[in-house]
């Protein structure tokens, strides 16, 4: 088994007439880690995530997932939670479960149903009738109910209250196996610092730091949150 689950070599993305959102980025992630992708708004986090998922075409460089460029085979092993609601509002929660069961062979409906029950979410409810927070929980439950090799979560705790945040983080921790990797983008560092193994700081589409949380604490004697504030001080 390839120990590297994600590799970016000279990866760049420039939008029309704009600066590079991701600029000659080199990155290598091993299996079995929870990685925080951190950076202020506009640092290139979402662009990088979209490039990994094949939603954007790179301007230059390559991205490899388990040694393969984004395509059918990588989509089978990557479970992606975008920032926005990507389920049709007219769908019932139960329809969304059927949809995931139909398309993802690694989807575990029993696991999803149990989590929905824990959160008192009615499977017969249409998504448009749910609150924003409930919709985000449904999406996270669907994504975490897959036995994927790489979970990519774009701002999974951004729009929910602190109680829900705790449940979501617990859900993430309980539902991935030790060989899987979680790449988690957020700006709410304090809330997730304790679950992270490694952090990547992005600025202007470039990596400014790629270190384990232990390295930061031992060598710099700072928490990730404090270091983040220092690096991105305005």
Partner 1 sequence: MLRKLIKYDLKAMNRYLIIIHVFMLSACVLIRVFLTGRLFAEGVDFNSQKYFLPLVLFFTLFTILISMMAFATHLVIAIRFYKNLFSSEGYLSHTLPVTSGQHLLSKTISGSIWGIINMISLHIALFIVAATPYVISFVSENKAEIMEKLGFTGSRPSGSFLGFLLLYIVVCLIGTATNVILFYSAITIGQLISGHKILGAIAAYFVINTTVSVAALIITAYTGLLGASMNLSTAVDSIKYLKDSLIMNGIFSFIQTAVLYLVIYWIMKKKVNLD
Identified binder of partner 1 from the candidate list 10, 15, 26, 132, rule CB under 8 A: 15
133 vs 135: CA distance, rounded Å: 5
CA distances from 143 to 107, 135, 146, 150 (A): 8, 12, 6, 11
Nearer to partner 1, 146 or 198 (CB): 146
Nearer to partner 1, 36 or 58 (CB): 58
Q: Residue 185 contacts by C-beta under 8 Å, 6 or more apart in sequence?
A: 36, 37, 38, 45, 46, 49, 153, 154, 155
Query: How many residues form the binding site for partner 1 (CB under 8 A)?
Result: 25
Nearer to partner 1, 96 or 189 (CB): 96
Residues 54/75, Cβ–Cβ less than 8 Å: yes
The pair of structure tokens assigned to 47 is 């662009």
- Binding flag, residue 50, partner 1 (CB under 8 A): yes
Q: Which of residues 53-72 bind partner 1 (CB under 8 A)?
A: 53-57, 71-72
* Neighbour count for residue 188 (Cβ, 10 Å): 15
| Residue window 89-128: x/- pattern of binding to partner 1, with contact defined by CB under 8 A | ----------x--xxx------------------------
Nearer to partner 1, 18 or 163 (CB): 18
Residues 97/104, Cβ–Cβ less than 8 Å: no
Nearer to partner 1, 46 or 171 (CB): 46
Q: How does DSSP assign 168-232, residue by residue?
A: HHHHHHHT--TT-EEEEEES-HHHHGGG-SEEEEEETTEEEEEEEHHHIIIII---HHHHHHHHT
Nearer to partner 1, 156 or 193 (CB): 156
CB 213, min distance to partner 1, A: 28
Identified binder of partner 1 from the candidate list 78, 138, 172, 182, rule CB under 8 A: 78
CB 73, min distance to partner 1, A: 8
The phi-psi region of residue 67 (left if phi > 0; otherwise alpha if psi is between -120 and 50; otherwise beta) is: left
CB 227, min distance to partner 1, A: 30
For partner 1, the binding residues (CB under 8 A) are 15-16, 50, 53-57, 71-73, 75-76, 78, 80, 82, 84-88, 99, 102-104
């Amino acid at each position: 088994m390839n120990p590297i689950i994600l590799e970016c070599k000279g990866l760049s993305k420039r939008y029309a007439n704009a600066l590079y959102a991701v600029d000659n980025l080199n990155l290598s992630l091993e299996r079995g880690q929870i990685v925080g992708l951190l950076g202020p708004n506009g640092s290139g986090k979402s662009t990088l995530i979209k490039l990994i998922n094949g939603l954007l075409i790179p301007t230059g460089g390559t991205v490899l997932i388990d040694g393969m460029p984004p395509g059918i085979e990588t989509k089978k092993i990557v479970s992606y939670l975008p920032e926005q609601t990507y389920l049709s509002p007219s769908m019932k929660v139960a329809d969304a479960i059927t949809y995931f069961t139909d398309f993802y062979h690694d989807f575990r409906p029993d696991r999803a149903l149990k989590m929905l029950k824990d959160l008192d979410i009615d499977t017969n409810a249409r998504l448009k009738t749910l609150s924003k927070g409930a919709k985000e929980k449904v999406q996270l439950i669907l994504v975490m109910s897959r036995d994927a090799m790489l979970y990519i979560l774009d701002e999974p705790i951004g729009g929910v209250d602190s109680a829900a945040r705790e449940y979501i983080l617990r859900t993430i921790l309980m539902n991935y196996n030790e060989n899987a990797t979680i790449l988690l983008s957020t700006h709410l560092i304090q809330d997730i610092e304790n679950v992270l193994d490694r952090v990547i700081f992005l600025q202007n589409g470039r990596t400014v730091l790629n270190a384990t949380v232990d390295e930061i604490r031992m060598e710099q004697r700072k928490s990730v949150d404090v270091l983040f504030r220092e690096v991105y001080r305005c």
